[in-house]
Amino acid sequence: MRLVTSPAEIKEITKTYRLGGLTVGLVPTMGWFHDGHLSLMRMAREKADKLIVSLFVNPIQFGPNEDLDSYPYDLERDRRLAKGEGVDILFAPERQAMYPEDFGSTVSVAELTAHLCGRTRPGHFDGVTTVVAKLFNLTLPHFAVFGEKDFQQLAVIRKMVRDLDFPVEIVGHPIVREKSGLAMSSRNTYLKESEMDAALSLSRGIQKARKFVSERSAEVIHAAQVRNLVHKVISPHRECEIDYINVVNNTTLEDCDEITENSLLVLAVKINNRIRLIDNSILKGS
């Protein structure tokens, strides 16, 4: 596996791949790999002749008082893990190389970014779409794999690709969970043992909501019933500050009034005002 840090170098490498008729896959990450990341790499490895994983803690998607300075980072650790998954190139540029002093352009997707995580993290998705657009231009992938845990992010990137005619297939990978049910996240490393029960209230709320819906398959179920049920699971934990509990259409992200096959339960909760966790699940079916 080759470590590349220069944007100019990665462009030349990927041009060569393309000219050689090779299928290029990309897995964009911010590092501190866990089995969720590695699962994305495994999926991409099956489809790609050449697999690139980017590792870049993107400063412009972090807001004031967020965890940019403390975000977990260990290049050598991640390098070993990526090599073990058969990655061809680990692209790990420096911040200055990605955002020189005169950098002044932003990619912005309207509407989809106005609510859910976008409501409490203004500018976050502009940072995400800007860096992803840069990564697509640098690595020239035929396809890119993203995890479905960040479902709003996935929807925003898909819209950006459609709207701006990027020749990139966007592939979603299902959420990977710990044995406990907790959705895997690099930020889980922040959790103290005393906070774990509160963190697990998200997945427990999802499980209870899915059970509630499955037991009432012949009934009309209102989204408010599901939201209230999940709120009752999470709110008793004093460590939890609920950002949102919503039921949305899994394509448009618009709020649902009634539960259908396209209804997605989405959650965001802060633990002790330190750790922001998100989770989601379709409410009907697998």
Active site residues: 37
Copy the structure tokens of residue 228.
């209230």
CA dist 238 and 181 (Å) reads: 20
Copy the structure tokens of residue 49.
């002749």
Rg, C-alpha atoms of the chain: 19
CA dist 52 and 34 (Å) reads: 17
